Amino acid sequence: MKTDLQIQQDVMAELKWEPKVNAAHIGVEVKHGVVTLSGHVDSFAEKWNAEQAAKRVAGVKFIAIELDVALPGSSKKSDTEIAKAAMEALKWNVYKLADLVSIKVEDGFITLTGEVPWHFERLSAENSLRYLTGVRGVYNHIMVKPAISVNAVKIDIERALKRRAHEEAQEITVSIHGDEVTLGGKIHDWKERTLAIDAVWAVPGVKKVIDNTSFT
């Protein structure tokens, strides 16, 4: 098992390796496997990429993001300009989400609402806006409207967990109530937790995932 110092060193190395992140402006603290990223970044996209870099490191159990988005002068846009750019981005999205999603922009922060049939469409809407100039953050409140009953796919979820996570996935339990899926049992690190949650979201009709897993 890695020590906090080893995890800190690995996270710092991963941040330096990530070309979309300026690691010089980001501080890393680790306590009992919990990683805190602090400092400032030039865009919301950089903030997101820093978080993803930390998640890739084995041994990370939780991540606290305390990064401020300090937009340089050339990147500042009005809320109206951001809203127009966001609508255009959704219009050109491969899943044609402009008619399904509503956009609100306040002080550079985008709030998304609406309903889509699939979770990957929900994520796609957010991904389309992450790199827009002037964006300081994205709040994704889009709901997934189930297309089919989730009760029929419990076996598929369990198989997906075994495929996508490690052998220890058999220690993860799955329970279903309506369109909500609850994960329980034991996991070993943040990476395994992410793989398990992603496997569940890949199932059509899943509207909510409750993570009750705990670290070994």
Instruction: Say how far apart CA 130 and CA 205 lie, in whole Å.
Output: 25
Q: Decide: residue 35, CB within 10 A, 0-12 exposed, 13-18 middle, 19+ buried.
A: buried
Q: What is the pLDDT of residues 141-153, one digit of tens each?
A: 999 876 555 555 5
Which CATH code for domain 4-70?
3.30.1340.30
Within 8 A by CB and 6+ apart from 102, the residues are 112, 113, 114
Please write the tens of the pLDDT for every residue from 106-116: 999 999 999 98
Give the three-class secondary structure for 2: coil
Bridge partners, residue 184, by sequence: 173
Query: Which CATH architecture is the domain 74-144 placed in?
Result: 2-Layer Sandwich (3.30)
73-128: pLDDT as tens digits: 888 899 999 999 999 999 998 788 888 999 999 999 999 999 988 888 999 999 99
Domain boundaries, the chain: 4-70, 74-144, 150-215
> Is 150-215 in CATH node 3.30.1340.30?
yes
Does the fold of domain 150-215 match that of domain 4-70? yes
**Strand positions, DSSP E, the chain:** 26-31, 34-41, 62-69, 101-106, 109-116, 137-140, 143-144, 172-177, 180-187, 208-211, 214-215
pTM: 0.68
Q: What percent of the chain has pLDDT over 70?
A: 89
Identify the residue whose tokens are 């995890």.
Answer: 7
